[in-house]
A and B are shown apart, each in its own frame.
Chain A
Amino acid sequence: DIQMTQSPSSLSASVGDRVTITCRASQSISSYLNWYQQKPGKAPKLLIYAASSLQSGVPSRFSGSGSGTDFTLTISSLQPEDFATYYCQQSYSTLYSFGQGTKLEIK
């Protein structure tokens, strides 16, 4: 099974900050990597698919990069509505798996 590890597990930042979240796969997954945002009590929402493609309707301040085993999600200028938990997810294997999540909190 492919293990996904995110870092950090939690992060405090301020509005306007640039933030980067890292996701590492236990084996190469090419660009089969997606990013989701989840707010309390809500279903996850797709942000980035195929490592770097922005989902329709998602603000351009969100971007993704990477391939192989190392990936990043970057928020260029944090907005109040961006404080949430972020998950990476691999779709290289039919045993789909998620990272443990990164909780982004207001400093």
Chain B
Amino acid sequence: EVQLVESGGGLIQPGGSLRLSCAASGFTVSSNYMSWVRQAPGKGLEWVSVIYSGGSTYYADSVKGRFTISRDNSKNTLYLQMNSLRAEDTAVYYCASLIVGATSFSWFDPWGQGTLVTVSS
């Protein structure tokens, strides 16, 4: 069974840094496209970042230059390094596998359970 488990969330002061982890089981992170999606309290889903199997990375404008997505193949784990955190970064952060079908269409599945990041003084 494919499973994603996030960790690393918590309370952090504005301007601080935090690293989120997403441990995968049942599939290989390095062979798949992996992404982070966040959801502010009471709000909708916001795509944050993606890392392709070849290593290319992309970011939402709202986090570009502050967040870095990476992976550790030996640990089969995805990461999100978050620097210069702001109050508006407060959200539940989900990791998700981005599946690419035979016809190049892609979708997020499965998703982890999420980890809450609260940026507040």
Co-complex (A, B): yes
Smallest distance from the beta carbon of B36 to chain A beta carbons, Å? 11
Q: Are B103 and A96 within 8 A (Cβ)? A: no
Given contacts A1-B61, A49-B101, A50-B101, contact A95 B47 (CB under 8 A): yes
Inside 8 A of B105's CB, which chain A residues have their CB? 31-32, 49-50, 91
Given contacts A43-B114, A44-B111, A95-B58, contact A87 B45 (CB under 8 A): yes
**Count of inter-chain pairs, beta carbons less than 8 A:** 63
User: How far is A106 from B61 in the complex, measured between Cα atoms in Å?
Assistant: 36
Q: Please classify the interface of chain A as helix (H, G, I), strand (E, B), loop, or mixed, using the class held by over half of its residues.
A: loop
Q: Please classify the interface of chain B as helix (H, G, I), strand (E, B), loop, or mixed, using the class held by over half of its residues.
A: strand
B88 on the A face (CB < 8 A): no
User: How far is A34 from B52 in the complex, measured between Cα atoms in Å?
Assistant: 19
Range, interface on chain A: 20 to 34
Q: Are A97 and B44 within 8 A (Cβ)? A: no
A46 on the B face (CB < 8 A): yes
8 smallest beta-carbon distances between A and B, as pairs: A50-B105, A43-B111, A49-B107, A46-B109, A96-B47, A101-B44, A98-B45, A91-B106
Binding site for A on B (CB under 8 A): 35, 37, 44-47, 50, 58, 60-61, 94, 98-99, 101, 103, 105-109, 111-114
